[in-house]
Structure 1
Amino acid sequence: MGKQEITEMQDVTSIKSDREVVAVDLLAERPEQGSNFLAYANVVCVVAGTGTLGLPYALKMGGWIGVGILLLSLLMSIYTAILLMKCLYYNGKYRLSSYQEVGRHAFGRAGLAAVWFFHTSIVIGAPVMYLILAGTEIQGMVTSNAIGTKAWIWICAAIVAVPFVSMKTLKEVAIIAIFGALATLVLVIVAVRGSIIDMSNPTYAGVGHDNVILANLPTTVASISICFGGNVVYMHVEEAMRYPKSWNRVVAAALATCSVLYIATAIPGYITYGTEAKSPILSNLPDDVVTKIGTIVIIVHVILAAPILLTSFALEFERLIGITVERRGKVMERVYRTLLRLAVVGVCGAIACTVPFFGDFLSLLGALGNCTLIFVLPILCYFKLIGWRHMKWYELVWCAIIVIIGLISAVIGSIDAIEALNADFHNRQGN
């Protein structure tokens, strides 16, 4: 392993396992890495993204219980993010390099393949979703039809390619995360403002609200889980931290911040639009200058967030196929890396043009990838690598609840989302 993968640490949490453990004495300061604030901004930028736009619709699907599901998802996500990071240092000798390595150490090749599949579905699927949203919203804003939605998707893909290709690691990409986090805040303000204005709109005077719709709860959980889908970049964010022992506080603060933004968007949106809520919520908001500004902001946000996720994928893939300075030399490493990353952006653009249905694609992404990566696999890997006998009974119950919710939501939510996408395709062909 290289020096970056074998990281000496100091004072991480003492983990006791069945094998009588070992106080892990790793986690030293890394002076060459970024600050806690950059790590915080990175997580907020990736996590508090387009999922925010679908929350009023998620409440429409499940009813007011969705607010409780959102808070429950916050607690589950913080807990599994902490467990997952402990898995990186489970043997007390060196730091594993990725989520995939955690899966391999826990369950061999089967674990590696499972994590790789779900991880790739997110780090490729989320940027695809971003391109769909950006291209669709730009097309809706322009008055000329000379350039279609697919062309705008490719233009956005070209813009995303610039930082993705030019910036090698998440330490460099983290700078743009600050602007992405600020863009999310502006978006929430626009959404809340529009929802409040429309409360007096006669069009929405008679909309209904439900407390709970049991049949839709798995899909609701899947849609909300996309709002906490940061596991795919956590390893690289933590690796780029100057003070890695602050990880627990950083991830808790970042996810809590995201949840405040979520609640601020979801509750007014559902109160105003109820059963008429759409995904993204921009489709409901008043058609005025402020909403157009919000649309521009979310376009900027997704273009800034996409390179962060794609960089996470690229770093893993480049390690796998040996695109390193040590193996290829400085010049050829740059050439191979550039070609690979341009190909990745090309694949994302092609998929976005083929499946241009934001809301249902969002649901499928949340169900298939996020429910498994966020709620299920961290706990299973932790039990296998570190053990469960040292846990209190209520911790085991809590873990069981998280796994059950994750599995049910992944299976049923994926089925519902695939059926919805199938209907989208048929409706498009019919028109």
Structure 2
Amino acid sequence: MASNRFQNLQNWTNKHVFSNSLDYWNQELHDVPSYQNQSATGGEESNPPPDRLETIEESSVTEQPQPEDTPKQELAEDDGHGASSEPISALQAAWNVTNAIQGMFIVGLPIAVKIGGWWSVGAMIAVAYICYWTGVLLIECLYEDGVKKRKTYREIADFYKPGFGKWVLAAQLTELLSTCIIYLVLAADLLQSCFPSVDKPGWMMIVSASLLTCSFLDDLQIVSRLSFFNAISHLIVNLIMLIYCLSFVSQWSFSSITFALNINTLPTIVGMVVFGYTSHIFLPNLEGNMKNPSEFNMMLKWSHIAAAVFKVVFGMLGFLTFGELTQQEISNSLPNQSFKILVNLILVVKALLSYPLPFYAAVQLLKNNLFLGYPQTPFTSCYSPDKSLREWAVTLRIILVLFTLFVALSVPYLVELMGLVGNITGTMLSFIWPALFHLHIKQKGLNNFDKRFDQAIITMGCSVCISGVYFSSMELLRAINSADS
């Protein structure tokens, strides 16, 4: 009975949560091949061969984008890559958003409070508020006169300026690979604190060796299962740390959280926070998959409120518990070595389970834009006629894993790297572009207040991006130089 309940939970999660979180990676293919549709008589065509379309389908979509003069047809389900005909509820959509913005990187929030004090707390709240509104603005860009005209972030960008969608895809790929790199850095930090006899580069290479198996991942169901266990480990370790911190409530001193701030570190802190709220790429597809899209704004508001509350509470509790002894990863602050090793090993397992998701997404993104076969894409298909993955395609995936290792070895600094990535791709995807697209697409219907609001977000986003890239780069260079000295 217990095993059946567990299987039902996993199946529900795969169907409604994790698979649906992946649907935004398939943004290149706007024309639906005939083999993907059901025939007019209700029969199902055969599954598509991988060399034509081995992509992540929109997992809870009842309709696929079609030209206006083409009848819309329901999608047939296939073996693990097909779409589900059942749309998702507002609660399931909220879980998708939460799954995107409540990641493993909350372990770095206490150090943000240590560095930035109340300014960091304010940044967590302010960024949540801005990201909520820019998410709303982005969804408004999908509609014209109450009718949905666009379906993805890229289509919005291309409508703003033809060809601009490639910049969105580039930012998406950068963020996915940066996430993979940060997982390697985080896992190495945690392992080195447990077993210092092996240095951080050594642990990175060991972790990367175990992750080479991701090169053979070609089934969304496997990725979904890994994501399911990743979520379980995430809940376990967060619960452990919260209970531990609450046990020291009598020793807390809120006066230790100050308004003192080194202006050079503020952009890095903001970048870290922004990195943790970036979910805008998949919001258009998520809204399109909802049973009642009119509930999207309310769902987005409460999911960001919940995220902000949890991030603030977790960051403050961690710093109030450990004070000046707070480390970059909160678990490394634990004084009991045995307990620290236990928590760190759970986090390492979580990092290993987290890596396949963004890596698989990056592979799909590259494949859909480069390796579907000529003339669709510049290069030949990744799949041979017998539907097996070609040897050179596996080799390229292995090289991609090694690339993340190489960058991780070059910049093994968690906080600085998170800040830099957040200030580049995070501000673009979550601040500047949604407001810019909204201002351009909806300019005729906007009042002066709405225009000023969009312009204020664009100005603030550009300021955060430029100053953040500069100061985060300086912080990263200082960390590299101090390590060399």
Unmatched segments (≥5 aa) in structure 1: 11-25
The question of 1:354 aligning with 2:354 is answered: no
Deviation at 1:81, TM superposition (A): 2.5
Farther off after superposition, 268-277 or 37-46:
37-46
Please list, as runs of the form range in 1=range in 2, the aligned pairs for 1:65-144 lying within 5 A after superposition.
65-87=119-141, 95-96=150-151, 99-109=153-163, 111-142=164-195
What is the aligned counterpart of 1:269 among 315, 318, 338? 318
Q: Secondary structure at 1:213's aligned position in 2?
A: coil
Contact 2:256 2:320 in 1 (8 A): no
Q: Deviations over 1:33-70 (max 9, x none)?
A: 78557665554344212331222222233321332321
One-letter amino acid of the structure 1 residue matched with residue 184 of structure 2:
L
Q: Which one-letter code corresponds to 2:31 in the other structure? A: G
Segments of structure 2 that go 5 or more residues without pairing to the other structure are: 1-29, 33-56, 65-71, 76-82
The letter for the 1-side match of 2:118 is W
Preserved contact between residue 151 and residue 284 of structure 2 (Cα < 8 Å): no
Q: Pick one of 18, 25, 31 that aligns with 1:2.
A: 31
Structure-1 separation of matches of 2:178 and 2:184:
10
Change (3 A) 1:93 1:193: closer
> Structure 1 residues 347, 248: closer, same or farther in 2, change over 3 A?
farther
In 2, Cα distance between the equivalents of 1:104 and 1:187? 42
Secondary structure of the residue aligned to 1:372 is: helix
SS in 2 for 1:356: coil
- Counterparts of 1:308 and 1:139, CA distance in 2: 24
Q: CA deviation at 1:94?
A: 6.3
Native 8 Å contact 2:272 2:418 kept in 1? yes
Change (3 A) 1:119 1:410: same
- Secondary structure of residue in 2 paired with 1:128: helix
The answer for the alignment partner of 1:22 in structure 2 is: none
- Give the distance between the partners of 2:435 and 2:479, measured in 1 at CA: 35
C-alpha distance in structure 2 between counterparts of 1:285 and 1:75, whole Å: 32
2:406 matches 1:388: no
* Maintained 8 Å contact 2:98/2:307: yes
Q: Per-residue deviation at 1:228?
A: 0.6
Matched, 1:177 2:227: yes
**Counterpart of 2:259?**
211
Higher relative contact order (CA 8 A, sep 6+): 1
Whole-Å separation in 2 of the counterparts to 1:76 and 1:242: 23
User: Deviation string for 1:152-186 (max 9, x for gaps)?
Assistant: 323333444545642444x7634433333333333
CA contact (8 A) 1:74 1:228 kept: yes
Task: Name which of structure 1's ranges 159-168 and 367-376 shifts more when overlaid on structure 2.
Answer: 159-168
Question: Shift of residue 93 of structure 1?
Answer: 7.3
Work out whether 1:62 is the aligned partner of 2:116: yes
CA distance in 2, matches of 1:333, 1:387: 47
TM-score by length of 2: 0.71
2:354 to 277, 301, 305: 305
Aligned to 1:405: 460
For 1:228, the aligned partner's letter is Y
Separation (CA, whole Å) in 2 of partners of 1:361 and 1:41: 27
1:424 alignment partner in structure 2: 479
Alignment partner of 1:50 out of 77, 83, 104: 104
C-alpha distance in 2, partners of 1:94/1:44? Answer: 27
Partner of 1:108, secondary structure, is coil
CA contact (8 A) 1:41 1:178 kept: no
**Bigger mean CA deviation after superposition, 254-263 or 311-320:** 254-263
Any idea what the Cα deviations from partners look like across 1:267-296, whole Å, max 9, x if unmatched? Answer: 212333445533222232333444333322
TM-score (normalizing by structure 1): 0.78
Quick one: structure 1 residues 165 and 117, their matched pair in 2 at CA, closer, same or farther if it must change by over 3 Å?
same
Relative to its length, the structure with more helix (as a share) is 1
Higher Cα Rg: structure 1 or 2?
2
Q: Between Structure 1 and Structure 2, how many residues are aligned?
A: 405
Compared with structure 1, are the counterparts of its residues 227 and 125 closer, same or farther at alpha carbon in structure 2 (3 Å cutoff)? same
Deviations 1:312-346 (A, max 9, x none): 32222211113379974664573265444333222
Tell me, yes or no, if structure 1 residue 320 matches structure 2 residue 365.
no
